[in-house]
Structure 1
Amino acid sequence: MSQSPSVYKELAWQGLWKNNAGLVQLLGLCPLLAVTASITNGLGLGLATLLVLVGSNITVSLIREYVPNEIRIPVFVMVIATFVTVIQLVMNAYLYTLYQALGIFIPLIVTNCLIIGRAEAYASKNPWHHSAFDGLMMGLGFTLVLVILGGIREILGNGTLFDGADLLLGEWAEALRIQLFSVDYPLLLAILPPGAFIVMGFIIAGKNWLDSYRAARAEQPQKQVTRARVTAQ
């Protein structure tokens, strides 16, 4: 039990930053680049993916001892497809306009390598509570990338933020819409998938730069200690 806090801390660090599905593993790029024309779309798809991740991880962890090794992958896919179907029906019933905007990418969550990868690599080998937290952190990390990418594209393309937030959060969210600047014609490069590919490259480059900067800062005290020992000798 004493190891649990460190386990959760490591899972959070891996999911949100070090092993982020969108920035490091580069999983789920098809929906990530296709539907993130706005924060609303990115947040909607991210939350759907997160719920499927948590649900499938818990279920796979609970049944892992009862599933023969030879058929584990088909069983995992069936579990994931069940949760995706539930999410799809709920969105169709209560978030129909957003469901239409996301289109085929909701059912395509079934084939997202992130989800099947976490089921195989982690949930099938660990307790359900650790698996649930792993799914939560991986889902939050993926959602964060979707929201950042959607926000940048929405600003560059339309000059707005949180446009259409009411489609996901209800009528009260209409007040969240921010008009940063007016455009006569949207910047199509930012709105279309090629723009997403370019912006994604800059985001990944920014993360890599931060990692390099942190590594360099961490090495400086060690070099100073080494020099001090040499001088003393």
Structure 2
Amino acid sequence: MAVQTGKVNYFELITNGIIKENTIFKLALSLCPSIAVTNNLKNGVLMGVAVLFVQVMVNITISLMRKIIHPRIRLPIFMLVISGWVTVTDMSMAAAVPDVYKQMGLYIQLIVAFASILARAEMFASKNKIAPSMADGIGMGIGFLFALTVISFFRELIGKGSLWGMPIINAKPLLIMILPAGGFFAVGILMAFFNWIDIKFFKKSASVHH
């Protein structure tokens, strides 16, 4: 993503992260921690919200600092900023939702190593003003939240017969769906479906306009 010049299309910036550059379904980044926390809907949604918050705050912070960060030390600075906001998120979740935090606390801390957050800091926030950087962070964060919500929805429904811990289906659940193998299978199927939609509808409409 190049530096934004002229009039900024904020809607396009936000939808870009949800559709064209979706972290999970299009870029296939941060798959392992995503699969680890999506065996139930509650964990998946909370993890997505945590990443959304960190992504937006990191983009804003890096954009604010972009003119004073020396190019040679930019990556360590980016990592310090990311780790700072992850720490804020980690401590907030530990205080607000301790029961859920016990199950996924380690994965919240691993947000520091998410390639997608560092990539947006490097490719976009460090080169753009605050408002476009915030829009980019919102788009990428919502895209990640959307992906985790969809994955965890199907995994819990099929693997446990429940949603958000409440029984939905009386039939015998397919237990493999809540195991790591089932997680990768669900991601693969959803990734293929998401790419099919992108090719059939979005790319086709783009070619018509051209």
Would the TM-score normalized by the shorter structure come out above 0.5?
yes
Deviation at 1:2, TM superposition (A): 7.7
Moved more, 112-121 or 210-219: 210-219
Larger Rg computed on CA atoms: 1
1:3 and 2:12 are equivalent in the alignment: no
Determine the structure 2 residue equivalent to 1:169: none
Determine the structure 2 residue equivalent to 1:95: 97
Superposition pairs of residues 23-42 of structure 1, within 5 angstroms: 23-42=25-44
Determine the structure 1 residue equivalent to 2:55: 53
CA distance in 1, matches of 2:104, 2:38: 9
2:99 counterpart SS class: helix
Deviation at 1:129, TM superposition (A): 1.1
1:21 and 2:23 are equivalent in the alignment: yes
Determine the structure 1 residue equivalent to 2:183: 196
CA distance in 2, matches of 1:134, 1:155: 32
Report if the CA contact (8 A) 1:158-1:182 is conserved.
no
Report if the CA contact (8 A) 2:160-2:175 is conserved.
no
1:119 and 2:121 are equivalent in the alignment: yes
2:74 counterpart SS class: helix
Question: Normalising to structure 2: TM-score of the pair?
Answer: 0.91
Q: Percent identity?
A: 38
1:76 and 2:61 are equivalent in the alignment: no
CA distance in 1, matches of 2:68, 2:206: 47
Q: Which has the higher contact order (CA 8 A, sep 6+)?
A: 2
Give, as a single letter, the amino acid of the residue that structure 1 aligns with 2:56. V
Give, as a single letter, the amino acid of the residue that structure 2 aligns with 1:31. P
Report if the CA contact (8 A) 2:52-2:145 is conserved.
yes
1:209 counterpart SS class: helix
1:106 counterpart SS class: helix
CA distance in 1, matches of 2:62, 2:192: 34
1:150 to 136, 149, 152: 152
Deviation at 1:180, TM superposition (A): 2.0
